[in-house]
Amino acid sequence: MSVFASLVEQLADLLQPLFGLSAAAAAIVLFTALVRLLVHPLSRAAARGQKARARLQPRITELRRRYGRDPEKLQRALLDLHTREKVSPLAGILPSLFQLPAFLLLFYLFSNTTIGGRPNELLGHELFTAPLGGRWADALGDGGPLGGAGLVYAGLFAVVVAVAAFSYRLTKRSMAANAALTGAGAGGRGGGGSGSGSGSRGSAAEPVAVPGMGAVAKVMPFLSFFTLVTVAVVPLAAALYVVTSMAWGVVERAVLHR
């Protein structure tokens, strides 16, 4: 921990001529960008996996129609399909898992008054007037929401809302493109098929709804907005990491899934 703390200090010293008292905050943003660059190959693999799963969706729908009443056979058939096509269901979460240690490291460094038995000098750094080791509750107690530190958090919250709104649009567009994952439209088309007297053919053509996915589809576009809670409760340094990583991730999604 002390080694990483000294690295942050040295990077802040290098950036000090450009960013002044906010040099440590700039160092954290740069550190976050470096982490995201290292994770980028996993993000590209995750994007390829998502596109591959979209291509497999008609076959997955057919398997669900065929084995819908036998969960064990369905699970084996889905696993075999993903294995043959070399598509990993876990690829989408690997980028987040590999970033977690960096977030926890920053959280630890800016939550402790001592590092390696010595005073934690990182706690003396600020983003404008907000201490990097402080939290939103501290800002509210020291000047209120319109105080210096409170306005820093207001700016962070505004960035989160803007990025989350963009992420919301991307997610809705992605969910619409893969409507079969949520069983969207199954009920409406099913009624039409029965009325036309070709119920069996209509049933085979309809996407089979995955249990619980309808509720997931409704909640998923709003998940990015929950970042507001994280930013509010973690130290400001960790909040900077979260906001920077979130903004990077949304732009990355827009590029990789265009």
Structure confidence by residue, pLDDT tens digits, 207-246: 444 454 556 567 766 888 899 999 999 999 999 999 999 9
**pLDDT the model gives residue 94:** 79
> What pLDDT score does 49 carry?
76
Beta strands 130-131; 126-127: pairing state: antiparallel
Taking the C-alpha atoms of 158, 134, 32 and 166 in order, what is their torsion angle to the nearest 10 degrees? Answer: -20
Residues facing residue 118 across a β-bridge: 115
**Percent of the chain's residues with pLDDT above 70:** 81
Least confident stretch, 3-7, 70-74, 220-224 = 220-224
103-141 confidence digits (pLDDT tens): 999 999 999 998 888 888 889 899 999 999 999 999 999
Q: What single-letter amino acid sits at 81?
A: L
> What span, in angstroms and rounded, lies between the C-alpha atoms of 134 and 237?
8
Q: Mean pLDDT, to the nearest integer, of 153-177?
A: 89
Query: What is the domain count for the chain?
Result: 1
The 10s digit of each residue's pLDDT in 73-101 is 888 888 888 787 777 666 668 788 889 99
Helix ranges (H only) for the chain are 2-19, 23-67, 71-84, 94-109, 136-141, 148-177, 186-195, 199-205, 213-219, 227-233, 236-256
Q: Average of pLDDT values for 180-204?
A: 43
pLDDT value, residue 29:
95
Q: Which domain holds residue 192?
A: 2-256
Q: Is 191 a residue whose pLDDT tops 60?
A: no
